[in-house]
Each structure stands twice: as C-alpha cells, then as structure tokens.
C-alpha cells in the first residue's frame, strides 16, 4: 500500500476534526443543519455551500469510519496518478454531483443528507477504472476485483434508490458520486493524451503543399521563407518547441541539415 498523499491526509484530518467538533449534530445542531444538504431546490439555492460542506459531516462514528477507511486505502494511489489538484477536484465534484442527483430524486421526508459517501464512491469508481483487475479483500476475507466491486456498487445503489430499500442511506448521492467520478476521470484521461494525439496526427498527416509552392520546395531560401510563416503562438507547447528547435537548426546549419521527416513536420505546421 502507498503512503498517505497530501490531499488524502488533509481530507482524513478535516473529516475527523469536523466529526469531533460537531459529532452527528447533537453538539451544535444549528451549525450542523446549516452545513447539511437538504434535497430541496429552494434550500439548495439559499444554501449553495451545502453541496460541499455536507461532505464533511457524518451521522455517526461508523458512517465516518467506513468512508475514511475507503479513502485511506484507495485515495493515495489515485492521487499519486492524477496529481493533487485533479484528485481533489474529482473528490469534491463527486460529492457535489451526489447532492445534485439527490435533488432529482428527493426524499419525501426531506431529511438532510450528510457524509463523504458520494465523494468516496467517485474515488472508488475512478480507482476501478484505472486498475480494474486489482483484487480487493472485503472485510479482509472476500476477494473481488475492483471492476466487479464498482459494478456491484452501481447496481445496489440504483436498485436501493429506486425501490426505497436501505433506510436512511442516500443512494442517489452514491450514484451521483459514481457518475461524476467516472466522468471526471474520462475527461482527465482524454485531456492528458490530447497533446500526444495531436502531435502524432500532425506527424502522420499526408503532405499537401499549397499550389505555387511545389515548384520551389527544393530552393533553401523558399523553404525557409515558407517555414518562417508558421504561427508558433497558435501551436500547442509540444509542437511549438519542436518548430523553434528545427528552425534554429536550419538557420545555423542550413536547410539540408534537416532530415526528411523534420522538413515534412515543418511543412505540416505551415498548413496547421
């Protein structure tokens, strides 16, 4: 198991401190309920902060313990992979997404929703998406792969939410956390690979020089004038650095010092 990462440690401390100070609401009920989330659109509009603050409240020690033990085991590896900023965003947005989905399926009794479960479910589903074959031992006994555990959580939460089973558990908050956590991970993963995909696309794109240029492609001066028109400011950082290095090489050593693939790359950047 990985050592605790910075944001996992801070979240563990924050949740524990809030529970020690406020407990399950008996110590300071006015503050507790002012921070809790009520699945009522009017209350959500007048208390917008509760979409975040409810995640740090818990209804009892057991509620706190199971949420924090899950965060303790699954959070560090995920934070190490995504980085602190993205991990925290996934955590808080998953909890917020759980609150928002609860607005669509409100509890008729309008009982307040508290707990980090939505956020933790987002962490769990992201973990399962990245490492689906990791074996997890439930209660340190029952082995199950991460993807199967995530699927079971979705099915149980959906069934319990629609049928009303499960008592006071906010199942739609769990589902919202699962959906947002998975969605955030997919967006993060796509953006992470976007620069590499764009670089590869440019490199592999067919070369179609504009009319009027083909006749002078063999002239070094014409090539340099053509390449000097590249708008480096509009390029991605990876492409911009490569263009600037190749242009500097051509200026110092001449166009013939560039390989065929390097010349083709610069021509593609002209057309970008």
Give pLDDT tens digits along the chain (272 positions): 678 999 999 999 999 999 999 988 887 889 999 999 998 899 999 999 999 999 999 988 988 998 998 899 899 999 999 999 999 999 999 999 999 998 887 767 678 899 998 999 999 999 999 998 888 777 667 888 888 888 887 776 666 655 554 555 676 788 899 999 999 999 998 887 776 666 666 655 555 544 444 444 456 788 888 888 888 777 777 788 888 899 998 888 888 888 888 888 888 888 66
User: For 138-166, b where at least 16 C-beta lie within 10 A, e where not — what string?
Assistant: eeeeeeeebeebbeebbebbeebbeeeee
pLDDT attached to residue 197: 66
pTM above the 0.85 mark? no
pLDDT attached to residue 10: 97
Enumerate the active-site residues.
117, 171
Tokens of 189: 């993963």
User: Going by C-beta distance under 8 Å and a sequence separation of 6 or more, which residues neighbour residue 266?
Assistant: 227, 230, 243, 246, 247, 258
User: What does R_g of the chain's alpha carbons equal in angstroms?
Assistant: 27
The CA-to-CA distance between both ends of the chain, in Å, stands at 46
6-194: CATH architecture: Up-down Bundle (1.20)
Q: Is 205 left (phi over 0), alpha (psi -120 to 50) or beta?
A: beta
Contact indicator for 76, 5 with CB cutoff of 8 Å: yes
Which sequence spans correspond to the domains of the chain? 6-194, 205-271
pLDDT attached to residue 217: 44
């Amino acid at each position: 198991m990985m050592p605790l990462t910075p944001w996992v440690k801070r979240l563990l401390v924050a949740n524990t401190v809030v529970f020690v100070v406020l407990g399950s609401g008996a110590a300071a009920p006015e503050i507790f309920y002012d921070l809790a989330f009520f699945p009522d659109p009017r209350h959500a509009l007048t208390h917008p902060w509760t979409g975040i603050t409810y995640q740090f409240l818990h209804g009892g020690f057991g509620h706190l313990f199971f949420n924090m033990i899950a965060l303790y085991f699954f959070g560090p590896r995920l934070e190490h992979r995504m980085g602190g900023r993205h991990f925290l965003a996934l955590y808080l947005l998953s909890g917020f997404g759980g609150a928002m989905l609860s607005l669509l399926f409100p509890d008729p009794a309008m009982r307040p929703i508290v707990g980090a479960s939505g956020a933790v479910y987002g962490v769990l589903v992201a973990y399962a998406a990245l490492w689906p074959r990791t074996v997890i031992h439930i209660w340190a006994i029952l082995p199950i792969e991460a993807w199967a555990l995530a699927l079971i959580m979705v099915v149980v939460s959906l069934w319990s939410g629609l049928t009303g089973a499960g008592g006071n558990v906010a199942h739609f908050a769990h589902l919202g956390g699962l959906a947002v956590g998975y969605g955030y991970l997919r967006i993060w993963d796509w953006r992470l690979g976007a620069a590499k995909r764009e670089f590869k696309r440019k490199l592999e794109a067919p070369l179609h020089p504009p009319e009027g240029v083909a006749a002078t492609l063999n002239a070094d001066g014409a090539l340099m004038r053509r390449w000097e028109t590249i708008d480096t400011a509009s390029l991605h950082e990876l492409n911009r650095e490569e263009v600037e290095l190749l242009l500097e090489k051509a200026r110092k050593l001449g166009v013939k010092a560039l390989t065929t693939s390097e010349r083709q790359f610069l021509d593609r950047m002209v057309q970008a």
